[in-house]
Amino acid sequence: MNQDIRQYVKLLMISLLYIALGIIGIYSSTLIFLVPLLMAPMAIYLMSSKRNYTRDIIMHMVISILIFGMTMRFDEALLYLISVAIPAHILVACYRKQYSVPHVAMYTGIGTVGLFYIYIIAMKYLQIDYIAMYNALLDAFKVEYIKMIEEMSQMTNMSEQMAVQIKVIKEQLPKIISLFKYTYPAMLLEAGIVIGLLSTAIITLIGRMKKWRMASLTQLVNFKFSKWMAGLFLIAGFIIQFSSGGNDSLTALGINLYYFISYLLQLIGIVALIMIIRKSKWSSGLKVISIVLSLMMFWTTPFIMMIIGLGDTLFNFRKVDIIV
């Protein structure tokens, strides 16, 4: 009986926590970008309790209804489900099925972003256009940045080289802004990967402190992508090459797919390079220098990291067993 009372107290406390966060508007103000922190208490509660889907559904319905009733904001209640309830259940379900840590991170991150994308489309019909807000923010940044550049160009003591650089920036900035507008789905997916990694790392660390049976976080650097990733990358390249000036939707799909897979290959490239350096027979000092140089290359020459990642995907340089 005491155990049942403790479970009900936990349920009440976790419900009050998320209702309070909804009342102060934390879900609508942070969207999905605080998912790793917001969903952690819910995920810990679910993992420490017996599986009971009826209880969980009722709990989430009550929390959502009370958030809506106290704030009169439908988006706040929906975002609670998207940024807390569903990601927590995805993560816990993956752990209970004993998936590898990279798989847990991928399913949690991609699932969260997928739901958020559906939410963005749905809210457009309720006169809340997040894409238009994003585009307006980029346009405002472009106006302010160009204004700052024009002020710099009026300096009398400017060198000729600086004048040329400013001219190039003014010409390229609109193209860069247009690219950011075009590739927001890819950037959302990239954010999803980060969300999944952070969420999985936080829950795994907490679980290991509680002496739960959790997989090691070293799995995050001991996996490779399936060869189908290289195939998708090739398909994305063909779509971009042969659909330019034709089907805009197909071109957008190709560009977003290309940028997202490039991002994944760059990540796995830097991981592969660092792990190869660590396993080498070089001296400790040379290993440290090589790792620092590799991290610098990740930011300065991402194309090289992408090629390394593509090579690791195709040939499994590190001979790892976990394939995502």
Tens digits of per-residue pLDDT, 71-123? 989 889 999 999 999 999 999 999 999 899 999 999 999 999 999 999 998 88
Q: Is 323 helix (H, G, I), strand (E, B) or coil?
A: strand
| pLDDT over 90 at 125, yes or no | no
- What pLDDT, in 10s, does the model give residues 314-324? 988 888 888 88
Domain boundaries, the chain: 1-127+187-220, 222-324
Residue 244 has what pLDDT?
A: 60
Cα–Cα nearest to 221, from 82, 86, 320: 320
Model confidence over 170-194: pLDDT tens digits? 788 888 888 888 888 999 999 999 9
Q: What is the pLDDT of residues 15-64, one digit of tens each?
A: 999 999 999 999 988 888 889 999 999 999 999 888 888 899 999 999 99
pTM of the model: 0.87
- What local confidence, expressed as pLDDT, does residue 88 receive? 94
State the average pLDDT over residues 301-309: 90
List Cβ neighbours of 298 (8 Å cut-off, separation of 6 or more).
Answer: 266, 269, 270, 305
Alpha-carbon distance values, 199 to 28, 44, 320 (Å): 19, 11, 23
Mean residue pLDDT of the chain comes to 88
Characterize 48-86 residue by residue with b for buried, 16 or more Cβ atoms within 10 angstroms of its Cβ, and e for exposed. eeeeeeeebeebbeebbebbbeebebebbbbbbbbbbbb
What digits encode the pLDDT tens for the residues 263-278? 999 999 998 888 888 8
CA distance 279 to 275: 6
Q: For 24-129, where are the alpha helices, taking DSSP H only?
A: 26-30, 35-38, 40-48, 53-71, 74-80, 86-96, 101-124
Q: In Å, how far are 181, 272, 288, 315, 316 from 276, measured between CA atoms?
A: 37, 6, 12, 14, 11
pLDDT at 246 over 60: no
